[in-house]
């Protein structure tokens, strides 16, 4: 089974505010997700790949989308899989949303972000390209960053073939994918790559807990408030970090919050869950972006945990999806 790190629980923990729609789901949630962590690593990864997709009724059906799977080359000669979502029958050049999926840099696939991918593709009229970057522990940091960056550059170079506008690109992702999207936006700025007009950072990882600037921002979500939250708690998040990162040293390529400056970055949508151990680092990144003069749209969802999108019956999931659709429409 997966060996989680031993963390010291808080001596006193405030009573969590729980969304009334999520409250009846907590026991089943803990049972289902808890069972995954009893599996050996290979089975753990396979279970995530085999998990069925559950979508809200307003999410566009696959019949409204043309889906194409192909390979894109990365700088070390490897080819990684990409999945392209296009509005049904669309032949014209469209903006691009490049998606890096969640899963702690360890698990997951294109389907992790399926709800957002379909919604944005059809409702915002863009091509969505999801990157199946190489994952830890086999491929540790910075493989996920480098693969995602190489695909972004490849997309711009092949814009005509892909029928995308290289000057209207949104980088997007959830959780570890939100981490990668934030890093791509910084890297594009630093390397003078134009065309990134927005960044969607859903429940993002923005800083390793040992590097978090507690002197600047509130930080109780990880070690106190949401220490033992459903789906992802502090120990599980630390396990993901341990699989991904060998040396905990300040580096904006894994902890974008520690970047020297956030000035000059594109507009951002930051979505944060109230019962998430990552809550405060998402809020801190949104605050830091604002202080740097970046246009930030912050959406906060009290009473739901990290990955609450896995429960499409929740009304907040509709808002979560539609906020991405609206943001992408606005920035492109």
What distance in Å separates the CA atoms of residue 111 and residue 51, rounded to the nearest whole number?
A: 9
| pTM score, whole prediction | 0.97
Q: Provide the Cα torsion 306, 309, 312, 314; round to 10°.
A: 50
Distance in angstroms (rounded) separating the CA atoms of residues 322 and 150: 29
Is 92's pLDDT higher than 80? yes
pLDDT tier for residue 55 given thresholds of 50, 70 and 90: very high
Q: How far apart are CA 88 and CA 85, in angstroms?
A: 9
* pLDDT surpassing 80 at residue 14: no
175 is catalytic: yes
Over the stretch 238-282, which tens digit does the pLDDT of each residue have? 999 999 999 999 999 999 999 999 999 999 999 999 999 999 999
Instruction: Report whether 265 contacts 286 (CB < 8 A).
Output: no
Catalytic residue among 165, 223, 276, 280: 276
Distance of CA 51 to the CA centre of its chain: 18
Q: Is the pLDDT of residue 1 over 80?
A: no
Give the burial class of 203: count Cβ atoms within 10 A of its Cβ; 0-12 exposed, 13-18 middle, 19 or more buried.
buried
| CB-based burial label for 20 (10 Å; 0-12, 13-18, 19+) | exposed
Sign of CA dihedral 10, 16, 22, 28: positive
Rounded Cα distance between 153 and 259, Å, is: 22
- Range 60-331 has CATH code 3.40.50.1820: yes
Q: Which of 148, 175, 221, 255 is catalytic?
A: 175
Break the chain into its structural domains and give their ranges: 60-331
Distance CA 312, CA 58 (A): 10
Q: Cβ distance 274 to 17 under 8 Å? A: yes
Least confident of 12-26, 149-163, 280-294: 12-26
- 167 catalytically annotated: no
Q: Could you tell me if 306 and 228 are in contact, meaning their C-beta atoms sit under 8 angstroms apart?
A: no
| Per-residue model confidence (pLDDT) at position 12 | 67
* Average pLDDT score over the chain: 96
Q: Does residue 101 carry a pLDDT above 90?
A: yes
Whether 247 sits among the annotated catalytic residues: the reply is: no
pLDDT level of residue 53 (50, 70, 90 thresholds): confident
pLDDT of 15 higher than 80: no
Residues 175-233: tens digit of each pLDDT: 999 999 999 999 999 999 999 999 999 999 999 999 999 999 999 999 999 999 999 99
| Per-residue pLDDT at 314 exceeds 70 | yes
Q: Give me the pLDDT at residue 10, please.
A: 86
Mean pLDDT of all residues in 304-328 = 97
Closest alpha carbon to 169 in 198, 148, 200, 190: 198
């Amino acid at each position: 089974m997966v060996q989680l790190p031993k963390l010291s629980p808080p001596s006193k923990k405030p009573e969590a505010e729980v969304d009334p729609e999520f409250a009846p789901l907590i026991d089943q949630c803990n049972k289902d997700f808890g069972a995954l962590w009893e599996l050996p690593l290979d089975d753990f990864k396979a279970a995530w790949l085999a998990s069925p997709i559950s979508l809200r009724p307003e999410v566009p059906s696959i019949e409204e989308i043309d889906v194409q799977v192909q390979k894109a080359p990365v700088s070390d000669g490897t080819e990684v899989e990409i999945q392209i979502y296009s509005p049904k029958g669309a032949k014209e050049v469209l903006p691009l949303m490049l998606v890096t999926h969640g899963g702690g840099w360890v698990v997951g696939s294109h389907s992790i972000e399926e709800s957002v991918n379909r919604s944005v593709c059809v409702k915002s009229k863009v091509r969505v390209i999801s990157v199946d970057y190489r994952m830890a522990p086999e491929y540790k940091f910075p493989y996920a960053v480098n693969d995602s960056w190489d695909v972004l550059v490849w997309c711009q170079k092949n814009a005509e073939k892909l029928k995308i506008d290289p000057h209207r690109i949104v980088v997007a992702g959830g959780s570890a994918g939100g981490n990668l999207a934030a890093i791509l936006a910084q890297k594009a700025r630093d390397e003078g790559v134009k065309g990134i007009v927005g960044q969607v950072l859903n429940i993002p990882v923005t800083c390793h807990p040992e590097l978090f600037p507690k002197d600047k921002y509130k930080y109780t979500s990880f070690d106190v408030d949401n220490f033992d939250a459903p789906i992802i708690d502090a120990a599980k998040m630390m396990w993901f970090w341990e699989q991904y990162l060998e040396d905990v040293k300040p580096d904006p390529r894994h902890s974008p919050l520690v970047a020297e400056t956030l000035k000059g970055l594109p507009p951002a949508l930051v979505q944060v869950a109230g019962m998430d151990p990552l809550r405060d680092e998402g809020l801190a990144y949104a605050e830091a972006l604002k202080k740097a003069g970046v246009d930030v749209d912050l959406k906060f969802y009290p009473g739901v945990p990290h990955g609450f999108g896995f429960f499409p019956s929740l009304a907040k999931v509709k808002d979560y999806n539609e906020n991405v659709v609206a943001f992408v429409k606005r920035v492109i």
